[in-house]
Copies of this chain bind each other. A is one copy, B any other.
Amino acid sequence: MSLQEVFYPRAVAVIGSVAEGKLGYVLVRRLLEGGFKHIYAVNLKAQGVDQVSGFRSVQEINAAVDLAVIVSPAATVKSVMEDCGRAGVKAAVVITSGFAEAGNATGEEELKQMAQHYGIRFVGPNCAGILNMHHNLVVTLEALPPKGSITLVSQSGAVGGLVMSAARERGLGFSKFISYGNGADISVIELLRYFQDDPETRVVALYIENMKDGRVFIKTLQELTQEKPVVVIKSGRTGTGQRAALSHTGSMAGSDAVYDAALRESGALRVESIEEMLDLCQGFACLPPPKGRRLLIVTNSGGPGVMAADKAEEVGLEVAEPGPGLKEKLGAFLPSHAGMRNPVDLTVEGTAESYRRILVEALQEYDAALALYVGTPYLEAMPYAASIVEAAKESRKPVAASLAVGSDIPQSLQLLQEHGMPNFTSGERAVRVLGRMADYEKYRAGLRPLPPVPAALGSLPGEGPLLEPEAMQWLKENGLAVPEFCFAASRGEAVDSCRRLGYPVVMKVVSPEIIHKSDHGGVVLDIDGDTVAGEAFDRIREAARDKDFRGVVIYPMLKGGREVLLGLSRDPQFGPVVVFGLGGIYTEVLQDIALRVAPVDYDRAMEMIHSLKAFPLLKGIRGQKPADLKALADTMARFSRLPFLYPEVQEVDLNPVFVFPEGLVIGDARVICRRRSD
C-alpha cells in the first residue's frame, strides 16, 4: 500500500486520555479546529470531547477509521495496535515515546510485529505527529503554517515545530509535515518516495540527524531531486553535535564528510540553519527557476546594493554590466547618475515606475533580478511593491524582492505575498537563494544517474592485509596499472629477479607482520647491480629476523611523474567510499582531499580530480607537462568498483600512484580484507 491512508484518512480515532489538558484532548481539539470532520475518541472511560464521541475500543466505532493516533502510555500501545488491527484500521501515528530511543528496543519490535500482522502502517513511535493542510488533517501539537506547497519531513519534532512556527510568521504555506520519530515502520526513505509523486508538494524540506541505508537514501533522494528541490539540514556536523545526537537518538551518525558528499551527489541542497532552509523553500515555492547565473540588482540605496553585490560574487552569480542595447534602452528613461551599472542605483529619486521599467527591460537580458528598496518611515513602499509584482508577472523570470522601512511595509509585503512573491529580509539572503536555485537548475540539467553497483565477481582470502605481491597481482587482474614485479624467497632468486627486471630496482620485505615497511628497514631503493642486490636481500632478511619473513618483492625503480593517493574505505551508513588526494603534506597537513561514495564513473572521477585545491599541480604549472588525467580518472573509476566486485575488501590504499604525462603506475598497495559476514 501507499501512504495514502496516513495523509488522507476518511476518519481518525485518537486513542488515549482526553481529560482536559491531556495530549489526547489537545489533539482532538486541534483536529476539530483544523476543520476535520470524522473524529472519534477512544479511551478507558469512553470519554468524548464536544461533538466528538468517546468509545472504549476502536472496534466499537461504527465507521471506517483509516488512521489511529496513539497517545496512550507505552505499555498499552501494543494492545491498542491489536484493537486497531481487529477494527480494520489501515494506518497509525504513534506519538507515545518510551521505545527504542529509551532503550526499549524489544517493545518497539513487538509493536512492529503486531502492526505487520494486521497490515497496519505506522509513523513513529516517539514522534510529534503529522499534518496535511490539504486534507484539514492536524495530528500534531506543533504550530500551524498556512496551506501551501512545502512539505517538511523531520527526524526531530521540535525542529519541525520551529520550522513551522517561523513559516507561520512569514506566511509561508505548507502542504504536509511529518515527524517520523524512531521510524520503526515508515522510514524517511519511504516518505521521500511518497512525496515525489505527491501533486500537492512542490518543495521538500528535510531535517535529519542520522539514518540507516545510506545508499538507498542517496538513490531515493536523487530520484526525488529530479522532480522537486529538496532542502536538507543534516545536523551532527561536528564531533560535539554528533555526541549530542547520539545521546538523544541512540544512533551513530557516521562521517559528516561522507554525508556531505552523498547529499551533493543526490542533488539535495544542504543548508545549516532553519532561516536558510525557509529562505530557500520560499524561493523554490514562489519563484520561477533561473535559467542561468546573470543577475541584475536594482536599488534605491548604495550601501545595501554593495552588500548584495558582495554576496552575489560569493555565491557565483554574475553581476555584469548591461549590454549596449540594454544600456541604450535604460538611458532613455534613467537619470544619468544611475550610471547604468549593475547594481543600478536609482538613489532616493528612483520612482516605482522606473523600477518596473528597468526590471522588465533588464530581464530580457538577465536570468534573474533583485529589487532592493529601502525607504524611510514616512514614505509609502506600496507603489514599489506593485511595480515589482507587475514586472515579475510580465517577465516570468525570478524577481526576488527585499523591501524594508516604510509607512506601509506590512501592507506592501502583503501585496507581494498575495501575488506569490517572497520578500527577503535582506538583499544578501535573496541573492543566496537565487544562487542556490541556479545551482539546482544546473544540477538538474546535467543530471547523470548514479553509476551502477557491480555484482560480486570473486573473493579474496581470509582476514587482514594481503601480502604486497598478492595485492599487486590482484590489482593487475582487475585492470589497474601495476609495475612489473617479482617475488623472491631467497638471495639467489632475488639477484636473478633484479637482473631480469633491469637495474636500478627497489626491493621490499614481504611479511604479514610488517605493514610499515620503511620504518622496519624493509625497503632498499636504487639498487644498481648484483652485489648490492644480494646485500640488500640480506639486510632486509636480517631486519625481519623476528618476523614471519616470506621473501622480497622487487620492482624497477620508478621516478618522475606526479604522486597521488587513492583510497577506499567503508562508511557505516554509506558503505564503500573513495578518496583521492596528492598524498603527503597535501593530504595530511593541508587536508586537500576529494571524497565520494563509491563507485564513481569516469566523469565523477574527473570532477574529483578538478575539485582539489592543488589541481593546478596536476594540470602542470610553469611549463610542466600535464599529468595524464584521463588515465587517472579511468583508474579511479576502476578502483572504486573493487569493494563491490570483492565484498571482502575492507580498505585499500594506493600510495603513491605515479601519474606521468602519459599513463600511470601504482607505486605501493595496501589491501585489507574483512570477514564475509561483516
Contact = CB atoms under 8 A, between A and B. Distances in A.
B404 A305 contact: no
A162 B403 CA distance: 10
B241 A275 contact: no
Question: How big is chain A's contact interface, by range?
Answer: 35 or more
Contacts of A428: 272-273
Contact of A621 (B141, B302, B312, B585): B585
Contacts of A312: 240
Interface in A383-413: 404-405
A376 B161 contact: yes
A284 interface: no
A558 interface: no
Interface stretch (A242-250, A453-461, A651-659): A242-250
Contact of A405 (B155, B165, B235): B165
A273 B306 contact: no
Contact of A158 (B155, B302, B337, B585): B302
Nearest to A585: B617
Contacts of A165: 377, 404-405
Interface string A230-256: 000101111111011101110000000
Interface in A89-113: 102
Given A238-B313, A585-B617, A304 B141 contact: no
A303 B209 contact: yes
Contacts of A426: 162, 273-275
B235 A588 contact: no
Given A273-B426, A425-B275, A613-B590, A405 B621 contact: no
B304 A158 contact: yes
12 contacts: A155-B303, A156-B304, A237-B314, A239-B313, A240-B309, A244-B343, A248-B302, A272-B310, A273-B428, A275-B425, A585-B621, A590-B613
Interface of A: 26, 102, 141-144, 154-159, 161-162, 165, 207, 209, 233, 235-241, 243-245, 247-249, 272-275, 297, 300-307, 309-310, 312-314, 319, 337, 339, 341-343, 345, 374-378, 404-405, 425-426, 428, 585, 588-590, 592, 613-614, 616-617, 621
